[in-house]
Amino acid sequence: MSSLQALQQRILLSAALVGAFLTLGACGSTAPPSSQDLSAATEDTFLPPEGTSGFTEKKITYTNRDMVVAANPLAVQAGVEILKKGGSAVDAAIAVQAVLTLVEPQSSGLGGGAFMMHYDNANNQLIVFDGRETAPAQATPNMFLTPEGNPISFEKAVNGGLAVGTPGAVKMLEAAHKKYGKLAWETLFAPAIKLSREGFPISPRLFTLLQTNAPLRTQQPAAAYFYQADPNDPNKLVPRPVGSLLKNPQLAVSLELIAKGGAAAFYTGPLAQAIVEKVRNHPTNPGHLSMEDMANYQPKVRDAICGIYRIRFRICGLPMPSSGGTSVAMVLGILDQFDVAALKPNSVESVHLISEAYRLVYADRALYMADSDFVSVPVAGLLNPEYLKRRALLINPEKSMGVPVAGVPEGVSVFSGIDQSLSLPSTSHISIVDQDGNAVSMTTSIENVFGSLQMVGGFLLNNQLTDFSFKPVDSTGKAVANRLEPGKRPRSSMSPTIVFNENNQVEMIIGSPGGSNIIQYVVKTLVGVIDWKLNIQQAINLPNFGAQTSAVTSLERLTSAEGLENGLKAKGHTISIVDINSGLHGITFNGQRADGSVGAFAQAVDKKWAGGADPRREGIAAGND
């Protein structure tokens, strides 16, 4: 009897129990939303990706001393050089982020936010630095509604100053450096300053994204920086060609100010004033960011969310306001009820099972998850093993559930409205380990591709406020947990993750861009390495697939197979073949430790670390031996 067939018998035996649980609810609250309510949410299975730029096969990388994996070779090189000089993982992350601001401007940068998970090996301490953007003090819950109370279009919301939140990345990086930096702050920006002044060759991916972005051509000074007049039509703008040298002296000046003056040079003074004026004085879509918002921004230090998978692995991720850590832990908690290792990768059985687990978790995510500094999020109830076992019982091995139904975890007293926010996949991920075994898993973002399209000081500003629900209440009048409120941090899906073994030793560092799909990319990789015994590169290469709160199951266009599509349709799935552009960057421990133990995922012990970079993007893994 297969794992899924055995589950079917369990479902039949436990149907009465599950039905009673869902009917009674918790703490006297009313029933959760129905599947019809969830299907009204605008967040579908896979949102349009940041943009595909091909699939280039990559080989796993091995190093002995340290490792950096990031989305651009120039950024990786900067991080590797910092590590070579004796810098810490945090030092390298700062250098990598500074260069990514220049060479991957569509995804992250000084004008955005980030979450960093840091493991201090000497002190066996894991903490999270929260550099998520915050809503301006003058922002209102109805800010994205028309006078008639209808949501404005995403394009109207994003292009301009309205959606710009207070940037958090710079101050967060400074806080991390003060605690874990080894090299002088000023030296960490030198590679990015040099590249900004001397120029870098435009990559094929950047060119592709510029070519397909019409709104950016209308926004100055970004348009003048990225585009040039068409030789055949002087009234038309075209991207500067692949390989041409792009210099950014304005960014060099901004980086020099931050290098010499610290984060204060970004959050106060002329640079902050320029950011605020750009936002508030946009001619058609002004925003509410103020000098007070900039000066008052504070990053936060939080505890990680951790769950156990397959008995011996502790999977640690982000707490709220990111839904990533909780959602990844929930999916794995559901999958822990099944013998996933007995199922083949990219098979009908495995894709069906994992997609159904996603549906259950995204239903809960839409209802409960938001900034826990503003709303009560029942994290303990959502992660309760008994609750996840009950959720697992809802999976039918022979038929898709279609539109999912939210569960009722312990600790819920009042149901929120259904969130209808989008979560756009323009983000970047960095995985780093240094010579002392300290690890950084950092996901960084400006939200939409090229953010708000507003460029100041050589970098783009975020549009993270569109990660809030445009509607503060749902159709039933219930307040949405992820509604916009002054000072609040929009819900994220970023999922930087560190995996530990039973002896609390680092086994894996992983994460990805991809908006609300990040959760699925990370789970896919974890399952690939832990259950299917693939190396980190093979697991990253696995086809992407998934589902959220709709009846649609999405398969990656580049790697989908007719047999898989037909098999899932036979189980009742509605299939969509789409471009699914992850950007997974991961490291696994591959060697032998001082205590004689070998890495749980080691496939060769002559090198200490193994790294993999997503073939869907331009990243690499590299380090020092």
Residue 289 CA, distance from chain mean position:
24
Distance CA 362, CA 369 (A): 10
Catalytic residue (one of 101, 166, 326, 427): 427
Cβ(576)–Cβ(552) under 8 Å?
yes
Instruction: Identify the bridge partners of residue 509 per DSSP, sorted by sequence position.
Output: 498, 587
> What is the C-alpha end-to-end distance of the chain, expressed in Å?
48
State how far the alpha carbon of 499 is from the alpha carbons of 234, 417, 480, 512, 568, in Å. Answer: 54, 34, 32, 15, 31
Distance CA 469, CA 488 (A): 12
| 525 phi, psi to nearest 5 deg | -70, -40
Distance CA 169, CA 76 (A): 19
Cα torsion angle, 279, 281, 286, 290, sign: positive
Radius of gyration of the chain (CA): 23
Alpha-helix runs per DSSP H in 85-202:
89-103, 154-158, 169-180, 190-198
Cis preceding-peptide flag for 73 (omega within 30 of 0) = no
**Burial of 125: CB neighbours in 10 Å, binned 0-12, 13-18, 19+:** exposed
Sheet strands (E) in 303-365: 305-309, 313-317
Number of Cβ atoms within 10 Å of the Cβ of 553? 28
- Of the candidates 444, 452, 305, 296, the one whose C-alpha atom is nearest the C-alpha of residue 369 is 305
* The pair of three-digit structure tokens given for residue 141, joined into one six-digit string: 């819950």
Distance CA 483, CA 469 (A): 5
* The pair of three-digit structure tokens given for residue 227, joined into one six-digit string: 């585009």
Which residues contact residue 393 at a Cβ distance below 8 angstroms, ignoring those fewer than 6 apart? 7, 10, 11, 14, 18
Cβ(558)–Cβ(55) under 8 Å?
yes
Beta pairing class for 506-510 and 545-546 = unpaired
Catalytic residue status for 427 = yes
* The pair of three-digit structure tokens given for residue 42, joined into one six-digit string: 């605008």
Kindly report the length of the chain: 625
**Angle CA 490–496–497, to nearest 5:** 135
The residue assigned the tokens 């009234």 is 235
Sheet strands (E) in 73-221: 113-120, 125-131, 200-201
What does the DSSP assignment read for 578-611? Answer: E------EEEEE-SB-TTS-B-TT-S-SSSSEEE
Residue 182 CA, distance from chain mean position:
27
Q: Which residues are catalytic?
A: 427
